[in-house]
Amino acid sequence: MGFVPVSRKQTGVSVATNATSDPAYEVDWEDDDSGNPKNWSLLYRAFILFIASFSTLTVVMYSTSYTSGMPGMMRDFGVTDDTLVVLGVTTYLIGLAAGSVILAPLSEMYGRRPIYIASMGSFCLLILPCALADNLEGVVVTRFFGAICGSAMISNAPGTVNDIVSEEYRALAFSIWSIGPMNGPVVGPLVGGFVYEYLGWRWTNWLVMILAGVAFFLLNLFPETYAPAILRRRSAKMRKETSDRRWWSRYDDKVRIWELLKINLSRPFIMAVKEPICIFWNLYIAVLYAILYLCFVAYPIVFSEGRGWSAGFTGLSYVGIGIGSLIVIVCEPAIRRMINSHQADPETGRPPPEAMVSIVCVAAVCVPVGEIIFAWTCTPNVHWVAPIIAGVPFGAGNCAVFIYASNYLVHSYGIFAASALAGNSVLRSVLGAVLPLAGPSMYGTLGANWAGTLLACLEFALIPIPFVFYRYGGKIRMRSRLIREMRADAERMEAKRKAGEEKAKSKAEREEDEKVLEKEVEKADV
């Protein structure tokens, strides 16, 4: 019997069929399947999380370590305008945005591993021209292309976390992975400040290149984790080994490659403008992310220019933000208990996705509170410890928003999580690229007190977004056509699985009845 697709349905990787000629030849996970990433040993999955977190740390720290070496570049390249040198941060973040919309969908087509290896190898090589550049233009342009490659870790790693961890422990695993990306912006100027002070700005590039080389080596040890990619390869292997074309998986590609590219590359943009969840969360996260990156321009203004600190000690001023992030990560078990205390969804038996938004509601208040405290304690007339302490609630709030808002998107969109996060990455990276350009002139015009107050007011104005989703998120999700289609597809697959089990059970019962009948016939013959 040939393979005859009956109906087509978009999946995370292709256009898949919901009915086939013979369900007995479907390649899918078996019970306790050792090939299923979610069934791998705890130690092995922890190793994968470490690689993903370290590699993401390397990419993210390069975005901010650049700020430590800006005075040296201005001196060597004869640049006098602060805004021009900040363009290196802008082009890097725009590169992260551009890369996300390309590499995240490609990982849903070809799997995580090949995208990681190719991207990190290219990222490592593109640091070399920055380290050897003899003009600012070369640095700014090359950082853009390097960021496109490095974006694979930021946009795809959350999908990898989702690949290998069950829903119950997803937030914990996401928190562990977040140690890298959430502390990368802090580690960048912290390490870069001392490297620049003692070795020069070029070594801020050489250091990241060394770390990227280590990450590239580790990623070559990285297994494929994306279930659709694994099942597609299994079905292809079965067809080849058995010479039987009936073997199939529901993720097999059924259309031409260019049609797949069109579907997968356009999905992040379509979701970003059509999905209500994506629209509001993208706006909220993007604004907070942009203000966070503005801090990496503001801190040198406040501590280096305002207080006369050296580059190395200015890097230490970010410690408060880092401590706040680590507090959230360490408190994950307590946060998980808070999430699990919500009333379970009758359909799933688990807390609804909106339970995670409760954490974001708390974080949404912490962020502007930290910002307003920093704004009015950052001037030299106040002891230096006060603005650093203000970074603790600010860092904790940003970390919690990043972890649990992203987790909410992953939980809501399932196999489309990478596309949802890619659209989110685009907007936040673009806004994070543009806003820091206004930092020098804004702080110069308004002063540190009122510039920080303006940013805090913007963050206060966005607080209602998580509260609205906490209260009405379930209804909003059910209005999403994409989520409804995903749920219907999951229900069909579950019904199909149960039907297969019933069929196998009936067959076993018939065989048992036949054996009993044969024994009775044998006894009668005797």
User: Measured between alpha carbons, how far is 510 from 502 in angstroms, rounded to an integer?
Assistant: 12
Q: Where a domain ends, among 215, 234, 253?
A: 234
Give the dihedral sign, CA 118/419/167/181: positive
Q: Where a domain ends, among 234, 249, 278?
A: 234
Specify whether the CB–CB gap between 12 and 415 falls below 8 A. yes
Condensed to tens digits (0 to 9), the pLDDT of residues 484-516 reads: 776 666 666 666 666 666 666 666 667 776 776
pTM of the model: 0.75
Using DSSP's 3-state secondary structure scheme, residue 367 falls into helix
- Residue 460 domain-assigned (yes or no): yes
- Asked whether residue 438 falls in the same domain as residue 485, the answer is no
Specify whether the CB–CB gap between 358 and 285 falls below 8 A. no
Give the residue from 262, 276, 56 showing the smallest Cα distance to 153.
56
- Asked whether residue 280 falls in the same domain as residue 420, the answer is yes
- Asked whether residue 419 falls in the same domain as residue 491, the answer is no
Q: Where a domain ends, among 474, 489, 511?
A: 474
Selected residue with higher pLDDT from 506 and 271: 271
- Asked whether residue 499 falls in the same domain as residue 426, the answer is no
Looking at residue 147, its pLDDT comes to 93
- Residue 435 domain-assigned (yes or no): yes
- Asked whether residue 466 falls in the same domain as residue 497, the answer is no
- Residue 254 domain-assigned (yes or no): no
- Asked whether residue 219 falls in the same domain as residue 96, the answer is yes
Looking at residue 453, its pLDDT comes to 93
pLDDT band per the 50, 70, 90 thresholds, residue 54: very high
Looking at residue 211, its pLDDT comes to 95
Q: Is the pLDDT of residue 192 over 70?
A: yes
Condensed to tens digits (0 to 9), the pLDDT of residues 273-312 reads: 888 888 888 899 999 988 988 887 888 888 988 888 887 8
- Residue 199 domain-assigned (yes or no): yes
- Asked whether residue 280 falls in the same domain as residue 209, the answer is no
Please tell me the number of Cα atoms within 13 Å of 340 on its side-chain side.
12
Condensed to tens digits (0 to 9), the pLDDT of residues 391-428 reads: 999 999 999 998 888 888 877 887 677 678 777 878 88
- Asked whether residue 347 falls in the same domain as residue 205, the answer is no
447 Cβ contact list (under 8 Å, min separation 6): none
- Asked whether residue 470 falls in the same domain as residue 484, the answer is no
Backbone angles phi and psi of 30, in degrees to 5: -95, 170
**Tally of domains within the chain:** 3
- Residue 502 domain-assigned (yes or no): yes
Average pLDDT rounded to a whole number, residues 475-479:
82
- Residue 250 domain-assigned (yes or no): no
312 is written with which tokens? Answer: 């190395």
- Asked whether residue 51 falls in the same domain as residue 183, the answer is yes
- Residue 15 domain-assigned (yes or no): no
Specify whether the CB–CB gap between 147 and 118 falls below 8 A. no
- Asked whether residue 230 falls in the same domain as residue 297, the answer is no
Looking at residue 44, its pLDDT comes to 92
Rounded to 10 degrees, what is the CA torsion of 280, 286, 289, 290?
Answer: -140
Give the residue from 399, 423, 479 showing the smallest Cα distance to 281.
423
Domain that holds residue 49: 37-234
Integer CA distances (angstroms), 503 to 23, 112, 454, in order:
11, 36, 66
Integer CA distances (angstroms), 304 to 66, 137, 309, 316, 433, in order:
15, 25, 5, 11, 22
Integer CA distances (angstroms), 128 to 158, 338, 448, in order:
28, 47, 36
- Residue 23 domain-assigned (yes or no): no
The CATH number given to whatever domain includes residue 452 is 1.20.1250.20
Beta strand pairing status for 8-10 and 15-17?
A: antiparallel
Condensed to tens digits (0 to 9), the pLDDT of residues 7-44 reads: 333 333 333 344 444 677 777 777 778 888 888 899 99
- Asked whether residue 484 falls in the same domain as residue 470, the answer is no
Percent of the chain with pLDDT over 70: 87
Complete DSSP assignment for 504-523: HHHHHHHHHHHHHHHHHHHH
